[in-house]
Amino acid sequence: MRTQNYSRKRQAIYELLLSTDTHPSAEWIYNSLKPQYPDLSLGTVYRNLKLLEGNGAVRSVAVVDGCERYDAKMTRHSHFVCKKCGKITDVFFTETMPDLTEKVYIDAAKDVEEYNLIFYGICTEC
């Protein structure tokens, strides 16, 4: 990977993701930071999300209505997606979630690195 410099905006994007549990899209992040960073551009948000994802600082948890949604909470947990309003909420199992990657043997896989478990339904507000 390419070496990184410090970037005020990348920091802001990352901290915003850390501080929220809404699992935002690029656009939500853009709109949230725009007041404080009037010269922020959407391209920068996209670029930094990809970069942070590459770093392992952040991960994409789902694509809802065609929009990639991100999370900076990297402890193992899964998500519930409301089919109606698109809200994403965290789902924790008792204690921590099992490491399923160690529990499956997949013929076609040389290496199973991670997994993503998503529940779908209707949320209490819909």
Binding site for a copy of itself (CB under 8 A): 63, 80, 82-83, 87, 89, 91, 93, 100-101, 104, 106-124, 126
Question: Could you give the string, one character per residue 66-95, with x where binding to DNA holds by CB under 7 A and - elsewhere?
Answer: xxx---------------------------
Distance CA 12, CA 18 (A): 10
Residue among 15, 21, 27, 99 that touches DNA (CB under 7 A): 27
Q: Which option in a copy of itself, DNA, none does residue 2 bind, with CB closer than 5 to 8 A by kind?
A: DNA
**DSSP β-ladder status, 88-91 and 78-82:** antiparallel
Report CA-CA distances (Å) from 106 to 9, 21, 78, 97, 114.
41, 33, 21, 20, 13
The H or E element containing residue 88 is: strand 88-91
34 vs 76 by CB, closer to a copy of itself: 76
Nearest to 13, CA basis, from 4, 26, 22: 26
Q: Which option in a copy of itself, DNA, none does residue 1 bind, with CB closer than 5 to 8 A by kind?
A: none
Residue among 18, 41, 115, 126 that touches DNA (CB under 7 A): 41
The count of chain residues that interact with DNA, using the rule CB under 7 A, is 29
* Chain residues that interact with DNA, rule: CB under 7 A: 2-10, 25-27, 37, 39-44, 46-48, 50-51, 63, 65-68
